[in-house]
A = this chain, B = another copy of it.
């Protein structure tokens, strides 16, 4: 924490895009579908992936949406990602599932996992589904929201697809930003809280680099001397810092063992950097929990009580200089509504990269305008 501005707002994960454009979510989905179909993904599965990737764009998880499309395509073409997976599902206990993703898109694997968890939890009250041989699935919040849309509570975690953090005190990047996300049912869909166990996500760092902005101190340190590193283009020389020091490091470790090791997926030094090695299978692990809250109380009663509590927090006295208290999910909901209406803002760099990709693949370019 920066002690000079202890009550700073969440870091801006989307620096302003003065030179960018807004495009409609339908145009984004169409580009994703076309690109994936072109590299061999079944149309129905390409539609699912496009839906889930664009959901990340809509909800403000910009580093997990269409931004990833060129990388995914590169991995499929390098045979590091299987476009036609035979995803297999095993119910290893009445309330536990284990999915083998056959190296397919993480989006497909985790959508299956969420479905399975909800189906089992209807019977057993709670269910846990792990996945191995999966891949990057995008935004954690998208999956935590799935049980929530079925009036259940969702909890999601994963081993990140590259290591950018050291164990506390260490100088080697052996841990990832391993996220933790919660989804609770709410009147307008889901109340979602989604956090990386690092101070910021690596996608944010990439966005800063793209925009030519310096990072605040407290995000990164140099590997050699542990001193602050603020140039995002030098991120590869640094260590992304965990939240709460040794706590965030410990949390990333525990989540990694549960999402990775327990499922027979990669963890620690074995993690494959999905950017650096496009041709190598990642064996990414995740887990999702669905809890049927209707076993505890009527869903409406729970939602009303959560509403009452959030309202009280939102109306509580503020520190000087704070204009409004923002709660988990607030930005997400606002962002979604605004972007459905006004389009998804994409930077000039990303637009030109996506145009290049469409050219290479011989598919229609991203349609501009909203």
Report the minimum CB–CB distance from A186 to chain B (whole Å): 11
A359 beta carbon closer than 8 Å to chain B: no
Bound state CA distance, A234 and B166, in angstroms? 36
Which of B124, B195, B261, B262 is close to A247, meaning CB atoms less than 8 Å apart?
B195
Q: How many residues of A contact B (CB 8 A)?
A: 91
A92 beta carbon closer than 8 Å to chain B: yes
Are the CB atoms of B257 and A247 closer together than 8 Å? no
Which of B126, B169, B221, B269 is close to A126, meaning CB atoms less than 8 Å apart?
B126
A319 beta carbon closer than 8 Å to chain B: yes
A58 beta carbon closer than 8 Å to chain B: no
Which of B7, B223, B253, B306 is close to A257, meaning CB atoms less than 8 Å apart?
B306
Are the CB atoms of B7 and A313 closer together than 8 Å? no
- Beta-carbon contacts of A261-300 to B below 8 Å, as 1s and 0s? 1111001110000000000000000000101110111000
Are the CB atoms of B96 and A292 closer together than 8 Å? yes
Bound state CA distance, A241 and B2, in angstroms? 12
Are the CB atoms of A6 and B241 closer together than 8 Å? yes
- Beta-carbon contacts of A52-71 to B below 8 Å, as 1s and 0s? 00000000000000000000
Are the CB atoms of A221 and B7 closer together than 8 Å? yes
Inside 8 A of A92's CB, which chain B residues have their CB?
125, 295-296
A228 beta carbon closer than 8 Å to chain B: yes
Are the CB atoms of B258 and A325 closer together than 8 Å? no
Bound state CA distance, A36 and B303, in angstroms? 40
Bound state CA distance, A119 and B217, in angstroms? 48
Inside 8 A of A167's CB, which chain B residues have their CB?
313, 316, 325, 327
A227 (CB) vs chain B CBs: closest residue: B6
Are the CB atoms of A269 and B312 closer together than 8 Å? yes
- Beta-carbon contacts of A223-258 to B below 8 Å, as 1s and 0s? 111111000000000000101111110110110011
Residues 73-106 of A contacting B (Cβ, < 8 Å): 92-96, 98
Report the minimum CB–CB distance from A222 to chain B (whole Å): 9
A96 (CB) vs chain B CBs: closest residue: B125
Inside 8 A of A368's CB, which chain B residues have their CB?
none
Inside 8 A of A334's CB, which chain B residues have their CB?
none
Inside 8 A of A175's CB, which chain B residues have their CB?
313
Which of B124, B245, B328 is close to A250, meaning CB atoms less than 8 Å apart?
B328
Bound state CA distance, A175 and B317, in angstroms? 13
- A94 with B94: in contact, given A3-B218, A168-B326 (CB under 8 Å)? yes
Report the minimum CB–CB distance from A317 to chain B (whole Å): 4
Report the minimum CB–CB distance from A326 to chain B (whole Å): 7
Are the CB atoms of A125 and B123 closer together than 8 Å? no
What are 29 residue pairs bridging A and B, where the CB atoms are less than 8 Å apart in the complex? Answer: A1-B1, A3-B217, A3-B218, A6-B226, A7-B168, A7-B221, A9-B246, A10-B246, A92-B295, A94-B125, A95-B126, A96-B292, A96-B296, A98-B295, A153-B262, A166-B316, A167-B313, A167-B327, A169-B319, A169-B325, A170-B319, A170-B325, A182-B258, A243-B245, A243-B248, A244-B248, A250-B327, A253-B313, A254-B328
Are the CB atoms of B171 and A319 closer together than 8 Å? yes
- Beta-carbon contacts of A1-42 to B below 8 Å, as 1s and 0s? 111001111100000000000000000000000000000000
Bound state CA distance, A1 and B1, in angstroms? 4
